[in-house]
Amino acid sequence: MDSALPKSLSHICTGNNNNPRPHPNLGTGPMGREAAPTRPPIRVVPYREDCWSEGETSALVDAWGDRYVELNRGNLRQKHWQDVSDAVNSRRGAGRRPPRTDIQCKNRIDTLKKKYKVEKARIAARAESQWPFFSRLDALVGSSPPPAATKKPSASLPLALPLPFHCKGSSLSAATSFPVDSPFFRRASAAAAKDNEGADEEGSGSLSRSSSRSGTGWKRGEGNGIRELARAIMGFAEIYERVEEAKQRQMMELEEQRMEFVKALELQKMEIIVDSQVQLAKIKRSRQSHAGERSDLFFILLQ
């Protein structure tokens, strides 16, 4: 029986050569045939969490892009990332891979943004990119949101012009250290208010006329409003110029009064000095006359 073993199985036998012993996994059947050995189980390769397929990445970009646009290009919260991960896990063919978490989806989006920046800098000199997700990320991350529409200035802007007159007058009075003629400023303020009332009436009339028309009539109303605004600004400039001229005149008058006061003070000072010198001279002469009289009296007594 031992001699009937095939030569191909002779290397699995153990023991001495006189009494060979077959491998325990092999059965001794008729004609020296043994059963085939069982194959070891296939070892499963561990799954990498950072390995994303193209289908997963495409579903991730679509789900994240929809919520990113809904939030007006703002940051997604935890519940939004959870919705994104649910959308990625519910795609077709996702059962063959472990489910993705919200943290993995967020990290993957950050990685895609970094790769987009690198790809955009690399293709600066070329027209297009070979990366399949570049166009979608460029539409989401690269393009800026449309600017907000700016409002056109309305024709009723001259209505707010009377406010600066009071503030300007108060600032001038607070900034100057000399007394200001209050009647002048009252007259200037009254004139400014009267001018602005006329401008307001004209502006409101032009606005009502322009609102009742359409097309070119509305454009004409806007032009009238701009002219009224320019006219009001010119009136304000004239009033401000008159106030400045009045201030300059008052400063000149105060300077003249100061010079006259200094001149009068100097004259009074000189008069005091001259009077004191005259008094000193009189005192000196009186002392000299008294001394002469005493000397004469002394000489008379000696004789």
- What percentage of the chain has pLDDT greater than the value 70? 52
Mean pLDDT of the chain: 70
Provide the token pair at 39.
């194959």
Tell me the DSSP string of the chain. -GGGS-GGGGGG-BS-SSS-B--TTS---GGG--PPPPPPPPPPPPPPTT---HHHHHHHHHHHHHHHHHTTS----HHHHHHHHHHHHTSTTGGGSPPPPHHHHHHHHHHHHHHHHHHHHHTTTSS--S-TTHHHHIIIIISPPPPPPPPPPPTTGGGGTTHHHHHHHHHHHHH--S---HHHHHHHHHHHHHHHHHHHHHHHHHHHHHHT--THHHHHHHHHHHHHHHHHHHHHHHHHHHHHHHHHHHHHHHHHHHHHHHHHHHHHHHHHHHHHHHHHHHHHHHHHHHHHHHHHHHHHHH-
* pLDDT for residue 187: 62
Greater confidence (29 vs 299) lies with 299
**Region 244-259 average pLDDT:** 94
* pLDDT for residue 184: 52
Full-model pTM: 0.34
* pLDDT for residue 153: 47
**What Å distances lie between residue 112 and 91, 92, 250, CA to CA?**
20, 22, 73
Q: Is the pLDDT of residue 150 over 50?
A: no
Residues 50-100 pLDDT 10s: 688 888 888 888 899 888 888 888 888 888 899 998 888 888 766 677 888
Residues 165-219 pLDDT 10s: 444 444 444 444 444 445 555 665 666 666 666 555 555 555 455 455 555 555 5
Identify the band that residue 269 occupies on the pLDDT scale cut at 50, 70 and 90.
Answer: very high
**Region 105-120 average pLDDT:** 89
Across 99-103, 138-142, 283-287, least confident range: 138-142
The position carrying tokens 């009068």 is: 264
- What percentage of the chain has pLDDT greater than the value 90? 20
What is the greatest pairwise CA distance in the chain? 197
The amino acid sitting at 167 is C
